Amino acid sequence: QVQLVESGGGLVQAGGSLRLSCAASGGTFSRYVMGWFRQAPGKEREFVAAISWRPGKTAYTDSVKGRFTISREIAKNMAYLQMNSLKPEDTAVYYCAAYYSMYDTIYIRANEYGYWGQGTQVSVSS
């Protein structure tokens, strides 16, 4: 059974940085796309970033481009989200998600992702 566990959330001042980690278990993730989503209070869950198993293939939502970087270590079944220049509007619960993709397609819709972590809170103070 596939399990995803996030860590690394916390409280940080605006302009600061955090690094989220996602540990995957229960399968072989060499053909999985890994993604990060977030959900702020009263808002829908939104796509943040995703990374393919193909080297260098990533996708980001416009609001985080240039500030966030997604990466992964396939051999360790780990994915990361480095978040720099954080803003109060980045405050949300951040979720790690994954799906199997034989053809290396990156989707940004939440319903394409079959596996989800429990989420980790990121709070950015002004």
pLDDT tens across 31-71, in order? Answer: 999 999 999 999 999 999 999 988 889 999 999 999 999 99
Residue 99: strand pairing partners: 33
Euclidean distance between CA atoms 79 and 7, whole angstroms:
11
DSSP-derived 3-state class of residue 112: helix
pLDDT at residue 103, rounded to an integer: 85
Question: Residue 73: its pLDDT value, please?
Answer: 94
Mean of all residue pLDDT scores within the chain: 95
Q: Tell me, what's the pLDDT at 55?
A: 83
Nearest one of 54, 5, 7, 47 to 33, comparing CA atoms: 54
Query: What are the distances in angstroms from CA 75 to CA 29, 79, 99, 114?
Result: 9, 11, 17, 21
Instruction: Please report the pLDDT score of residue 57 as a whole number.
Output: 94
Per residue, the 3-state secondary structure of 45-109, as one string, reads: CEEEEEECCCCCCEEECHHHCCCEEEEEEHHHCEEEEEECCCCHHHCEEEEEEEEECCCCCCCCC
* pLDDT score of 94: 98
* Confidence at residue 79, expressed as pLDDT on a 0 to 100 scale: 97
User: What is the distance between the terminal CA atoms of the chain, rounded to a whole angstrom?
Assistant: 40
